[in-house]
Amino acid sequence: MTPVANAKSVVIIGGGFSGSLLGAILVRAGFTVTIVDRGQHPRFTIGESSTPTAGFILKALIRKYNLPELLPLTQYGLWKETYPHISCGLKRGFSYFFHQPGALPQTTADHARELLVAASSSNATSDTHWYRQDVDAFLFDYAAENGVRCISNAEIADANFDHQRQTWTIRLSSELIIDEVDWVIDASGAAEVMSRLTGETTADRFELTTNTSAQFGHFQNVRAYDDLLTGAKMDVSTFPFSSDAAAQHHVFDSQWLWSLRFDNGITSLGLVSNLNATSEPAGWQGMLERYPAVQAMLREASPAMATPQLLQSGRLQRLASSGGGMGWVALPHTIGFVDPLHSTGIAHSLSGVERVAEILIRDTDPVGQLKQYEDAVFNELRIIDMLISGCYKLMASKRHFEAYSMLYFTAAHNYETQRMALEVDQAPPGIFLSDDAQMVDLIEQGFQLACSEGRSGKLSEPGLFEARIRDLINPFDQIGLCNPAVHSMYGYTAIL
């Protein structure tokens, strides 16, 4: 890549995978880049299940900015072969088990209590779970190897923008001063450093409707759920992939448990509770007592070293008061976050890296372009919120939940299909086709349906709800989603 003329200086706050990746891209384009992280790698981080959407964006970045060392991170087979020391997990798709209190592990011939949706068609080309302490440390080092000045264990103490010179002077907690900085990029995630520091606010605010919290941690010796099913003489022969080689969801009335297995023997588990539910959410122990199938899965499990005790979040949903201002911009996970359901976070973060890199490197009206980017990210969070919030409203009925989740799979699959056909210099579509009026209209209509079903409190007539969702997604459905004939076993939905 030809370095940009008149190269600029950038400070990135936060050396998670997105800050580090953006830093590496910008430094290779000729920018002077400093990353400041308040912590130190390697360190525990949550947010681990990737998706084909994320894979497509990462591949595009690798191609566009010539980052061949990162290609193994886009495919399970190549990852294991090239970087066996960076832990990951095999993710062939999404699996869901809808539990009843007191029930043991079970399946039925018509899959009335399970749902599997394939994302990848082979282990070699498969999607992955990212063991974040390894992946983030690798990318932080990668940024440094490419010439980024990487500073750990430091925070921004002061940041002053000189309006005349249009540059920042930044003082770190270590007293180091960095001046003549053209752009500050906030990749600090939930810390939202710059919007708090500048006090800037974006107009036209909206509220996120999803309302959840989570208890989570890393465990060892979690039994494979498929082993429990086969041990109980249940038939798993029609599963299109092992339900454990997936983002596995154990769904209860108003809660669900994620289970993400890494090859290093560690499993990430998290119990997400809908705080809008009328009944008090069960805690971890309450879940085990109520759902013996999950208890069996965790019988020999013990906390891994990274999380000797379960971590408890407050409300997970957040929107920063601003996503940018004079001389600064934030990446998506700093602008906001909705929920772990549907694993949208890594892909959304990468889509921010892609857009911010393009705008800064091209350097044509960056202020106007960054404002458009910021507005787009807020809109994307609104759309992701609808895709997720509707699922929580319908969680008590497997058929309603399954039908509604097809809105997400429709949006993701269409986005991925469009990306696959994209040439290197073509502008990508908005994530989940968030800039396509017809797709947004479909999601809004679906969400209204979920709201009225949820309000009625009955969740009756699932067939009618399924038919309505099927009609809605029909113009975009190229693969046969929401198809009763497949009995919830979507083996043919793999994009890779």
Q: Which residues bind ligand FAD (CB under 6 A)?
A: 13-19, 36-39, 45-49, 155-156, 187-189, 191, 193, 214, 216, 270, 316, 331, 333, 337, 340, 343, 345-346, 349
Residue 177 φ then ψ, to 5°? -115, 130
Residue 90: which H helix or E strand, with range?
Answer: strand 88-91
Q: Could you tell me the smallest distance in angstroms from the CB atom of residue 16 to ligand FAD?
A: 2
Q: Could you tell me the smallest distance in angstroms from the CB atom of residue 346 to ligand FAD?
A: 3
Q: Could you tell me the smallest distance in angstroms from the CB atom of residue 337 to ligand FAD?
A: 6
Q: Which is nearer to ligand FAD, 14 or 324 (CB)?
A: 14
* Residue 93 DSSP class: E
Q: Could you tell me the smallest distance in angstroms from the CB atom of residue 233 to ligand FAD?
A: 32
Q: Could you tell me the smallest distance in angstroms from the CB atom of residue 379 to ligand FAD?
A: 17
Q: Could you tell me the smallest distance in angstroms from the CB atom of residue 168 to ligand FAD?
A: 15
Residue 181 φ then ψ, to 5°? -90, 125
Q: Could you tell me the smallest distance in angstroms from the CB atom of residue 139 to ligand FAD?
A: 9
Going along 305-395, which residue ranges are E strands? 311-312, 318-319, 324-325, 328-330, 336-337
* Cβ-Cβ contacts under 8 Å for 97 (sequence gap 6 or more): 113, 114, 225, 243, 248, 249, 250, 251, 293
Residue of minimal CB distance from ligand FAD?
Answer: 47
* Cβ-Cβ contacts under 8 Å for 163 (sequence gap 6 or more): 326
Q: Which is nearer to ligand FAD, 242 or 334 (CB)?
A: 334
Q: Which is nearer to ligand FAD, 15 or 430 (CB)?
A: 15
Q: Which is nearer to ligand FAD, 25 or 214 (CB)?
A: 214
Residue whose entry in the numeric block shows the structure tokens 């790698």? 41
Q: Which is nearer to ligand FAD, 107 or 195 (CB)?
A: 195
Q: What is the C-alpha to C-alpha distance for residues 5 and 144, in angstroms, rounded to an integer? A: 22
Is the backbone peptide bond immediately before 42 cis, with ω within 30 degrees of 0?
Answer: yes
* Residue 431 DSSP class: G
Q: Which is nearer to ligand FAD, 316 or 482 (CB)?
A: 316
Residue 302 φ then ψ, to 5°? -140, 155
Q: Which is nearer to ligand FAD, 194 or 224 (CB)?
A: 194
- As to burial, measured by CB atoms within 10 angstroms (0-12 exposed, 13-18 middle, 19+ buried), residue 11 is buried
